[in-house]
Amino acid sequence: MFYCVLCSDTVNPNRWRLGRHTCLPCGETVAKRYKHTIVPMPKSNYIVVTDKSLLLNLNSSHKGGR
């Protein structure tokens, strides 16, 4: 039997093997703490942006007053 590290509720063994040591409700609560967006780069791949200042500075041709 596997138990959630936050609330001690039972965790599905398949979820535990994937490295998710929280139950679904606790996992959702933890996931909501992190905010990110995925931005397509011109002539390139995608980039994960977690800092708003990085997102604003990606487009150097836009000189908005932000």
| pLDDT tens-place string over residues 47-62 | 888 888 887 777 666 5
Tell me: do 23 and 41 sit in the same domain: no
Q: pLDDT (tens digit, 9 = 90+) per residue, 11-26?
A: 999 999 999 999 999 9
pLDDT class of 9 with cuts at 50, 70, 90: very high
Yes or no: say if 54 and 36 are a contact pair by the CB < 8 Å rule: no
Tell me: do 21 and 40 sit in the same domain: no
The DSSP secondary structure of 1-66, one letter per residue, reads -EE-TTT--EE-HHHHHTT--S-HHHHHHHHTT---EEEEPTTS-EEEE--HHHHHHS-TT-----
Looking at every residue in the chain, the average pLDDT score rounds to: 85
Count of domains observed in the chain = 2
Tell me: do 16 and 42 sit in the same domain: no
Tell me: do 20 and 42 sit in the same domain: no
Task: Provide the pLDDT for residue 62.
Answer: 56
Tell me: do 40 and 65 sit in the same domain: yes
Tell me: do 21 and 7 sit in the same domain: yes
Tell me: do 40 and 21 sit in the same domain: no
Note the residue count of the chain: 66
> Range of 46's domain?
35-66
